[in-house]
A and B are shown apart, each in its own frame.
Chain A
Amino acid sequence: MHPAPSVIIFTTLSGLGFGLLFFLGLGQPAVTGTVAFVFYAIAFGLACGGLLASTFHLGHPERAWRALTQWKSSWLSREGVCAVGALIVMGLYALGAVFMDSQWTLLGWIGAALSLATVFTTSMIYTQLKTIPRWNMELTPVMFLSFSLAGGALLAGAESLAPWLLVIAGAVQLAYWAKGDKALENSGTNIGTATGLGDRGAVRAFEPPHTGSNYLLREFVHVVGRKHAQKLRMIAFVLGFALPLLLILTPVEGVAIKHVFAALAVLSHLAGAATSRWLFFAQAEHVVGLYYGKR
């Protein structure tokens, strides 16, 4: 799949933002006033920035509101509904925390649930696609949720939870890579089933329909970035999980240094998560590539 910057920014940032909103909704940290304002500004900045980025790849962004109508059948629509719901509920909760010095617990819980539901529905947009075996796995939503929770805990400064969530997310990431590498092969789809000619002999794409490229090849067949996949996996794993874990577990003196280390951990995790998300798209093989003798 073509790793479009808009969808990578969207899933990475909004995943992190809604992860933070989840913890804020649960009252972790139970902040009010100016401190709360900073926390909510970061959370809404990430969540809304991500959602806004996702509209950049639309052919007609001005009609995006229509995407809220088909929640009965479409995961993309459900994601839109959950995102709008989470932002409204957490917006109200934030008003209470910032300006009224109060934590409306029930509202926070609803907001937290909607925030997590947004991340889950985002992951299901990809998971539902049988055409992309590497995404069509139970581990995909697990990976999105574990990333979001780990990043959210880091941002929320949840010192006791963050290391555990980072370890879990890192383990899920490794499992996802291991399983994903065999997904296309195990799906049973190949050029033989694609053309229906597989039982007659070895099928080879002889001539493409056109000498030039087309939308399908640009969108679904991205082979350039796979060359460095193993190196990028190392970078994603180290930046995303190993380094943040090291940074938050290192005992340091003083609040200022502690905050610097925490900020570095968040930035490192963000860079790692973005790299992982880039690989998520670049390494995903769409079965339509088989018609072109590519993957």
Chain B
Amino acid sequence: MTELPNSTDRKMGLVIDLDTCVGCHACVISCKGWNTENYGAPLSDQNPYGGDPSGTFLNRVHSYEVQPSPCSSQPNPAAQLIHFPKSCLHCEDAPCVTVCPTGASYKRAEDGIVLVNEDHCIGCGLCAWSCPYGARELDLAEGVMKKCTLCVDRIYNENLPEVDRIPSCVRTCPAGARHFGDLGDPESDVSKLVAERGGMDLMPEMGTKPVNKYLPPRPKDQIEDQIDILAPLLAPVAEEPQGFMGWLDKALDKLPGGAN
């Protein structure tokens, strides 16, 4: 049924560190790879080598420029570039679940993961319309809705080594910007991280109560005077040319045209 569970035993989700993300898109590629070969229909591409390529992705990385307003301490603040991975936030009050007319879209009571039963999905697209985050994409080859499964086929998979029983994007991230755990347990590592760093919700005004949290970027260091620490080492050693170069310099100065 597409009614939401009153509560879930656990709230499994991701914590994404906007301070650490370097925007390498490795999570995008590993997500596409894992989810094309495993759970449900593959993530298709349309016209991948043509002039207008597009495809289904469950995770996309945006980049934003933030220009702080000038203030007395910083009259000319530098703009900051923030890489911003975005996937399903596995909302507690997920509108994509309740709008589904067939019961294909559901939220699991045991761990809060939002999934699509692809055998029941009619591909009407209404769940994607209801999601403020653009987390759902209709696969054009299969005609069914695809979304992040939190790698439900990895995290409980006893055929994998324990170190791999986390979502593919988290396993792959070379910067350690993605964390996975139970956000319903205040003692979990991810919950502590969120408390410590002031983890935030995206579009809280939508009332979706996202489980995934974003850690805001830390303030940038302020460099007061010397920006280029190599500059002193690269300064010319001899101001006046010596030896042969010195003779050449003087000889050339005596030619018509004068010294310069």
Contact = CB atoms under 8 A, between A and B. Distances in A.
Contact of B131 (A72, A206, A288): A288
A196 B3 contact: no
Contacts of A175: none
A60 B203 contact: no
Interface in B105-149: 120-126, 128-134, 137-140, 142-145
Interface string B1-29: 11100000000000000100000010010
Contacts of B56: 215
Interface string B185-226: 000000000000000111111110000001011000000000
Contact of A59 (B80, B99, B143): B143
Q: Is the interface of B mostly helix, strand, loop or mixed?
A: loop
B160 to A, nearest CB: 28
Contact of A213 (B25, B54, B124, B203): B54
A187 B205 CA distance: 9
Contacts of A132: 129
A74 interface: yes
Interface stretch (A43-51, A62-70, A166-174): A62-70
Interface string B31-75: 000000000000000000000111111001111111111000000
A84 interface: no
Nearest to A131: B132
Contacts of B203: 189, 193-194, 287
Interface stretch (A12-20, A197-205, A252-260): A197-205
Given A132-B129, A195-B84, A58 B99 contact: no
A26 interface: no
B205 to A, nearest CB: 5
Q: Is the interface of A mostly helix, strand, loop or mixed?
A: mixed
A70 B103 contact: yes
A20 to B, nearest CB: 25
A216 B205 contact: no
B67 A204 contact: yes
A123 to B, nearest CB: 14
A201 B131 CA distance: 26
Contacts of B171: none
A291 interface: yes
B62 A207 contact: yes
A129 interface: yes
B122 A59 contact: yes
Nearest to A76: B101
A291 B68 CA distance: 19
Given A58-B122, A216-B137, A200 B68 contact: yes
B137 A214 contact: yes
Contacts of A227: none
Contacts of B77: 201
Contacts of A63: 102, 120-122
B67 A58 contact: no
Contacts of A130: 95, 130, 132, 206-207
Contacts of A125: 99, 126
Contact of A73 (B3, B201, B204): B3
Given A58-B122, A131-B129, A213 B52 contact: yes
Interface of A: 1, 57-61, 63-64, 66-70, 72-77, 80, 125, 128-132, 187-189, 191, 193-197, 200-210, 212-216, 219-220, 286-288, 291-292
6 contacts: A59-B124, A63-B121, A73-B98, A189-B203, A196-B216, A210-B54
Interface of B: 1-3, 18, 25, 28, 52-57, 60-69, 77, 79-82, 84, 86, 95, 98-104, 120-126, 128-134, 137-140, 142-145, 200-207, 214, 216-217
